[in-house]
Amino acid sequence: GNSVTQMEGPVTLSEEAFLTINCTYTATGYPSLFWYVQYPGEGLQLLLKATKADDKGSNKGFEATYRKETTSFHLEKGSVQVSDSAVYFCALSTGANSKLTFGKGITLSVRP
Amino acid sequence: NAGVTQTPKFQVLKTGQSMTLQCAQDMNHEYMSWYRQDPGMGLRLIHYSVGAGITDQGEVPNGYNVSRSTTEDFPLRLLSAAPSQTSVYFCASSYEDSTEKLFFGSGTQLSVL
């Protein structure tokens, strides 16, 4: 079956620090990969996505590259801001009925 | 544009009580789904619907019922609440059968004592 593994959290960084959040996956077929973000008190929002190997998703300064050889989709940002404090979920879909398989999520806190 | 609206935001139940979590969307989306979010486990799919009158089970359907009588509404029913159902519940919708265009509600935090 499908599964997503995220690095353990929480993560606390100072403003302008470099961010990496690791995500690896196991899937049948050729999944699409996603990063979702959940700000305090809100629902999940799609942050970025990649639908095939070597694709790079990007949004709001965040980037992630679909690496089929390492089955990974690590999230990176060069300079985090306080407003990036949130919970980040890695997820995949193999396209059947819009079903998403999520990782456990990781809480990011950014200090001024 | 309200998007996906969930009510209530918070609820406390006693074991054995029943209740319905409401979900409504105003985007004319065909696809709707319910997820539960548990600490250290991410989100797991409970039930989903690809259109009015059509529902199907997800990964963790036991203890939950759904129906889809209209395009706009997709309520989730707990017939006899159990402590194991303490969780945060999210409703999601999309115009088509595509995970790339899912919109999530803000969640319902449920505690079962």
From first to last of its 113 residues, what are the pLDDT tens digits of chain B? 678 999 999 999 999 999 999 999 999 999 999 999 998 788 899 999 989 999 999 989 999 999 999 999 999 999 999 999 999 999 999 887 666 678 899 999 999 99
A81 pLDDT band, cuts 50/70/90, is very high
Question: How many Å apart are CA A108 and CA B10, to the nearest integer?
Answer: 24
Q: Say whether residue A32 is in contact with chain B using an 8 A CB cutoff.
A: yes
Cα–Cα nearest to A45, from A32, A58, A36 = A36
DSSP characters for A3-58?
EEEE----EEEETT--EEE-EEEE-SS--EEEEEEE-TTS-EEEEEEE-STT-EEE
Q: Say whether residue A97 is in contact with chain B using an 8 A CB cutoff.
A: yes
Cα–Cα nearest to B103, from B31, B54, B50, B53 = B31
pLDDT of residue A41: 81
Task: Using CB atoms, pick whichever of B33, B104, B105 lies closest to residue A98.
Answer: B33
pLDDT of residue B9: 93
The answer for B2, left when phi > 0, alpha when psi is -120 to 50, beta otherwise, is alpha
A11/chain B closest Cα distance in angstroms? 15
What's the pLDDT tens digit per position in A65-75?
999 999 999 99
Mean pLDDT of chain A: 92
pLDDT of residue B1: 60
Instruction: List phi, psi (to 5°) of A27.
Output: -155, 150
In chain B, what is the straight-line distance between the N-terminal and C-terminal CA atoms, in Å? 36
Q: Say whether residue B33 is in contact with chain A using an 8 A CB cutoff.
A: yes
Q: Do A43 and B107 meet the contact criterion of CB atoms below 8 Å apart?
A: yes
Helix (H, G, I), strand (E, B) or coil at A112: coil
Q: Say whether residue A93 is in contact with chain B using an 8 A CB cutoff.
A: yes
- B99: Cα within 13 Å, side-chain hemisphere: 25
Task: Search chain B and give the residue with CA nearest A89.
Answer: B42
pLDDT of residue A49: 93
C-alpha R_g of chain A? 13
pLDDT over 90 percentage in chain A: 78
Cα–Cα nearest to B105, from B43, B39, B55 = B43
User: Taking the alpha carbons of A100, B77, B23, A6 in that order, is the dihedral positive or negative?
Assistant: negative
Kindly tell me if the per-residue pLDDT of A97 is higher than 60.
no
